[in-house]
Structure 1
Amino acid sequence: MTKTVEYIFDFAGPNGYLAWYPLKEIVERTGAKLVVTPVLLGGMHKLTGNSPPMMRDADVKGKVAYASLEFNRFLDRHGMTRFTIPKAFPFNSILLQRVLVAAADEEERQALVDALLPAVWERGLNCGDVDAVAAELAAAGFDAQRLLEATQGPEVKQRLIDNTEGAVARGTFGIPTYFVGEEMWFGKERLAQIEEYLGGGKP
């Protein structure tokens, strides 16, 4: 039976960018199925009492510097030479997250992630600028009007809230988080463990 990897995702988390590309390679190598669940990282933090590592660990001597070292090691290991931290970081990702929820199906949702991740984390897209987001969507071949109009609908707004609350209820506290069935992993450092599990290993 084909296993499904559920990716709990928000554009707002830089590690969401880093994990996306190797995760897709793992799914392809193992023959697994990938699904993306859009959530709000800010809402998740409020529900769990979590906070961004640079804030949470600011007073721990050496920890933020080491996290930066590991972050850059990951970029180098995977050849992610175009990654940059946007000037407006941290930023509100609610518009982009609603766009993902509004996708017609899973195929379009993943295509949107493929198109918008580089826009955000390589070219510094202003995620709150509706016109800029519309231009990016149109340039990538999407029906920008359909998607952006849908983001204002109550069903899309509520589904994003429900996704976030549902993920937290299952144990999620940050991005990137992955589920295979009831098994959960957190962090880009767990990707090798996920691949081993998909190949028949223990979680």
Structure 2
Amino acid sequence: MTPKVEFLFDFGSPNAYLAEVAIPGIEQRTGAKFEYVPILLGGIYKATGNMSPFDSLRGIKNKPEYQALETQRFIRRHNVTRFRTNPFFPVNTLMLMRCAVAAQSEAVFEPYFRAAYHHMWEEPKKMDDPEVFRSAFISSGIDIDRIAKRAQDDDVKKRLIELTNDAVSRGAFGSPTFFVGKEMFFGKDQLRDVEESIVEQSGGATSKAK
């Protein structure tokens, strides 16, 4: 049987955006269906003592340049064409992530997710500005007022915290994080191993992920 496969994401992570671009291909090749799990990256950083590459790479000679090179290699490998650096990075994503949980509860997650990534990393905007946030989603045809109202409910806020705490308890320290069954993989560059693990746990041959 195909194992449970999870993609733990925060809209504020450019690497999570890039990794997600590759997910449909993996699903097609393996027959797996990824479960999209919203988490608060800031909450994970706080709980684990970690920090974003934006902060951790500051002042280090050569490493940021190499990371940029690896990102360009990934973009070419997966034919990523719409990604743009967000000039307002880092963006506070608390409302974006609460709305992601709300959108799941309202069965409108897919269009909300696509619109959020579009306005964060394809036509980048300052999505922690309430007016920019609302206008962006309205322009994408999303009933954001309904979703944002639902996002203020206590059960939605609690659910997002629970998902974040659960991620930490299972070993997560950043985003993107993937789980294939009980096996954890961190980072976009581990997608080959993610695909291989799906195939192996499904009882198939070794994956030929690219």
**Is the TM value for this pair above 0.5?**
yes
For residues 149-184 of structure 1, give each alpha carbon's deviation from its aligned partner in whole angstroms, at most 9, with x where no partner exists: 012122111211111111011100011000111110
1:1-203 paired onto structure 2 within 5 Å: 1-105=1-105, 108-200=108-200
2: CA distance, partners of 1:159 / 1:105? 10
8 Å CA contact 1:35, 1:106 repeated in 2 = no
**Root-mean-square deviation (CA), in Å?**
2.1
1: CA distance, partners of 2:88 / 2:104? 29
Q: What is the SS of the residue equivalent to 1:178?
A: strand
1: CA distance, partners of 2:105 / 2:194? 25
Check 1:106–1:26 CA distance in 2 against 1; reply closer, same or farther (3 A cut). Answer: farther
Identity of aligned residues (%): 41
Q: What is the SS of the residue equivalent to 2:100?
A: helix
8 Å CA contact 2:2, 2:198 repeated in 1 = no
8 Å CA contact 1:9, 1:37 repeated in 2 = yes
Shift in Å, 1:189:
0.6
- The letter of the residue matching 2:7 is Y
1: CA distance, partners of 2:140 / 2:151? 18
- The letter of the residue matching 2:117 is L
Shift in Å, 1:110:
3.4
TM-score by length of 1: 0.91
8 Å CA contact 2:5, 2:34 repeated in 1 = yes
8 Å CA contact 2:3, 2:32 repeated in 1 = yes
- The letter of the residue matching 1:178 is F
For residues 84-113 of structure 1, give each alpha carbon's deviation from its aligned partner in whole angstroms, at most 9, with x where no partner exists: 221211110111101110024596323322
Task: Say how many residue pairs are matched.
Answer: 203
Check 1:112–1:176 CA distance in 2 against 1; reply closer, same or farther (3 A cut). Answer: same
